[in-house]
Amino acid sequence: MRTIITGLAALGLMTIPALAQTSDPEPTCKMCAGVYVPAEEIQAYSKKAVAEHRIDQRVRDIDIGKVHVALGVEHRGKLDRPGPQAVAEHDLVSEVYHIIDGSATLKLGPNLVNKKRRPADEETVRLYNGPGNNADDVKDGVSYTLKAGDVVFVPAGTGHLFTHIDDHIDYIMVRIDPGKITPLKDEAASKATLGDYLNKR
């Protein structure tokens, strides 16, 4: 019996190099160019957010083969307590936050309280994160205290709610859109969005 097992193990090891040689995957994004976003552009979006009282802004939305990936710049001001329907949930788009400044408390979880469908013609639905719901709270949600340098993953279907913001919070958001429901946005479109903010000191 030991001889049989040893022989099978040796046979298995011999087939590994053969499999590696016959497997030759193709890139999922053929001949795609890389995309560079300079710090000055991110800073210009931050200035625009403060000046125009904006929260969510798209910097880029690119096709990387199997999915769309978007980059956003987010700014939220002081918040003592959230209002009604402040929970957001996206059915198809996942998000990753990288906190760059400020601090806040964020609650996450899938169990939405009093959820209501977001209007299909809403700008964020059309351009940023697709269909989903708003809600009043997240039942049994987990709260996290966020600070500069932290990273948060928000999978599609997960409710997210800022319950408190000390003074402000600024973060970079990466959106993953496997259904490619969000429209693309390139450098030229980004510069058009920013206008004079790119030149402001």
Domain 39-198 has CATH 2.60.120.10: yes
* Global confidence as pTM: 0.85
Helix axes 39-52, 187-194, angle to 10 degrees: 40
- Going by the DSSP 8-state scheme, the letter that residue 99 receives in this structure is E
Q: Are 175 and 127 in contact (CB under 8 A)?
A: no
Q: Are 59 and 71 in contact (CB under 8 A)?
A: yes
Domain extents in the chain: 39-198
Q: Are 127 and 182 in contact (CB under 8 A)?
A: yes
pLDDT at 8: 46
pLDDT, tens digit only, all 201 positions of the chain: 555 445 545 545 555 555 555 688 899 998 999 999 999 999 999 999 999 999 999 999 999 999 999 999 999 999 999 999 999 999 999 999 999 999 999 999 999 999 999 999 999 999 999 999 999 999 999 999 999 999 999 999 999 999 999 999 999 999 999 999 999 999 999 999 999 999 876
Rounded Cα–Cα distance for residues 155 and 95 (Å): 6
Rounded Cα–Cα distance for residues 173 and 107 (Å): 17
Rounded Cα–Cα distance for residues 98 and 115 (Å): 27
